[in-house]
Chain A
Amino acid sequence: MKLDRRDFIKISGATAAGIAVSGLGFDLKQVKSHAGMLKTRYAKESTTICCYCAVGCGAIVHTSKRGDGRVMNIEGDPDHVINQGSLCSKGSSIKQLVENENRLTEPMYRAPYSDKWQTVSWDWALNNIADRVKKTRDESFEKTNAKGQTVNRTTKIASVGSAALDNEECWIYQSLMRSLGLVYIEHQARI
């Protein structure tokens, strides 16, 4: 290794400075705390099931205890029998279902033939849905078919959804749809 003049001056200068400093008893070693605190250290842990595909992977949700209840982290649950901690790219991103600036937090309504959405209240939205479902269902309800067989159905309403529902929610949903007389009940994951 060839030293040029500049390197030589740098080394000799630094040597002098180093001896001067070490002579005064300074500790030149950097003290570093390697073990940073986990961002989830003071978070509340709850378990959930990934909402995407039918595998049903378990996940741990870390929520802030600061009172705002915001989600800080979601990762695979190592104790879950199905995925044992692992998650695919969609599962790894489910925090974005909650922590997302594009997420709608209020019901939106677009009137027939209107070209814009407006924010409405939950009460208004739920009452209107109920009214319209009832009206359409009553108007289209068939007690018997052309052969005179009892069918008690409506073919003017269809349901599409939802791949994101869990087993118990699906049961309630199916009960509601069947009680209204729906026969077109489909799941968007098959479409």
Chain B
Amino acid sequence: MSKSILIDTTICTGCRGCQVACKQWHNLPAEKTTNVGSFQNPQDLSFDTYKLVRMNEEIINGKLEWLFFADQCRHCIDAPCLETAFDENAIYKDSATGAVQYTKTTKKLDADEIIGSCPYNIPRKAVDGTLAKCDMCNDRIHNGLKPACVTACPTGAMQFGDRDEILALAGQRLEKAKKKFPKAMLLNPDEVNVIYLVGFDPELYTDYAVASNDRGGLSRSVALRKMMGPFAKMMRV
């Protein structure tokens, strides 16, 4: 049974505890940033920032809404980055947890091709082309701990558990959220292990909140490899 995370943005307060806990656990350095007039900081994910609370101010039905979106890797069930890389030494899926893992070997991949394949625009490259993103704190999960971000969340907006439990919880939370937010929805729950619950149109949170056919996905050569299935995997085309 793979593991899943629920991120209920309707009860997120944007405290960024998850964002800092992620940096803290992974020993990642801070970013040098400038004030751009938003509380969102830094402005984007990077090689050193796996988790970022995106903040947007929107006027919805004549009322100012401050939208928080704790962006991170979705750990797709069929991950396009993994298919694109086609190198288990660089990108692989931990079958026990469902977490998609990047290794130092990602340096040998075409970084822009991998980033372009991600429907959620998550992986980021270092100067030398090595790729990095959220690893679901796979080391913590295997040792009976929750991911650092989930442990830190003070409001309970982030929940972690077995996939079926989290899907059930997501359904319950959705019902509850719909009473206050009629447009509430889960984002791609059947395709990803990190399931977001949003109260408004997902496009308002970030351009890449939901997977879209217009971008990401598999290129022609990757689709070919996928079509060949296990046979192709053995051959390493």
Which residues of A line the B interface, CB within 8 A?
Answer: 1, 3, 7, 10-11, 14-15, 17-18, 22, 28, 30, 32, 34-39, 41, 73-76, 78, 83, 85-93, 95
Contact = CB atoms under 8 A, between A and B. Distances in A.
A142 B46 CA distance: 61
A30 B236 contact: no
A38 B151 contact: no
B15 A1 contact: no
B154 A11 contact: no
Contact of B96 (A1, A30, A34, A75): A34
B211 interface: no
B237 interface: yes
14 contacts: A1-B220, A11-B237, A18-B236, A22-B234, A28-B234, A34-B142, A75-B151, A75-B152, A83-B154, A86-B153, A88-B152, A89-B17, A91-B17, A92-B21
Interface stretch (B4-12, B109-117, B189-197, B223-231): B223-231
B83 to A, nearest CB: 14
B142 A89 contact: no
B151 A76 contact: yes
A78 B154 contact: no
A-B residue pairs, 4 tightest by C-beta: A35-B142, A92-B20, A89-B16, A86-B154
A30 B88 contact: yes
B56 interface: no
A88 B148 CA distance: 12
A11 B228 contact: yes
Given A17-B235, A35-B143, A36-B138, A89 B19 contact: yes
Contact of A36 (B16, B95, B139, B154): B139
B25 interface: yes
A165 B77 CA distance: 48
Interface string B148-181: 1001111000000000000000000000000000
Contacts of A7: 221, 224
Contacts of B50: none
Given A1-B227, A34-B94, A92-B24, A85 B142 contact: no
Contacts of A18: 234-236
Given A30-B88, A75-B151, A93-B20, A15 B235 contact: yes
A85 B94 contact: no
B140 interface: yes
A11 B153 contact: no
A11 B235 contact: yes
B89 interface: yes
A38 B96 contact: no
A187 B217 CA distance: 56
A88 B235 contact: no
B235 A38 contact: no
Contacts of A17: 235
A10 to B, nearest CB: 5
Nearest to A78: B151
A10 B151 contact: no
Contacts of B43: none
Contacts of B101: 34
A85 B158 CA distance: 13
A73 B235 contact: no
